[in-house]
Amino acid sequence: MKSNNKKKLRLYIFKSNKHIYASLIDDSTQKVITSSSTISREIKDKIKCTKNCATSHMVGKHIGIKLKKLGITEIIFDRGKNLYHGQVKAIAEATRKEGIIF
């Protein structure tokens, strides 16, 4: 999904069979700026199950903290082909709690 607004970056959510990933993408340069997932060092040690809403909440909080450190406050949320429900909703809500607007 290409964004028409080049100023905002896109937070893309990808779910595999075992893990969930959140990547911040700059569409103008076609580069991933930062990412967080259930295989990230900071999250991997704290979780028991890799695919549930609590784990997704941790991934969303972690990506929100990374975005704040980079000085990014507004993004475009791209859930891909996933429904806005369960794990995707948990990531979105946790990211919003960190002060990121979308």
What is the domain-level CATH number for residue 14?
Answer: 3.30.420.100
Q: How far apart are alpha carbons 34 and 59 in whole angstroms?
A: 12
42 vs 36, 37, 58, 79, CA distance in Å?
A: 9, 9, 10, 23
Structure tokens at 95: 């990211």
**Pairing between β-strand 75-78 and β-strand 31-37 as defined by DSSP bridges:** unpaired
* pTM for this entry: 0.89
**1 found inside a domain:** no
**2 found inside a domain:** no
Q: Tens digit of pLDDT per residue, the chain (102 long)?
A: 444 555 789 999 999 999 999 999 999 999 999 999 999 998 998 888 888 999 999 999 999 999 999 999 999 999 999 999 999 999 999 999 999 999
Q: How far apart are alpha carbons 54 and 37 in whole angstroms?
A: 13
Note the pLDDT tens digit of each residue in 59-84. Answer: 999 999 999 999 999 999 999 999 99
What range defines the domain where residue 43 resides? Answer: 9-97
Quote the radius of gyration of the chain (alpha carbons, Å). Answer: 13
When divided into structural domains, the chain yields a total of 1
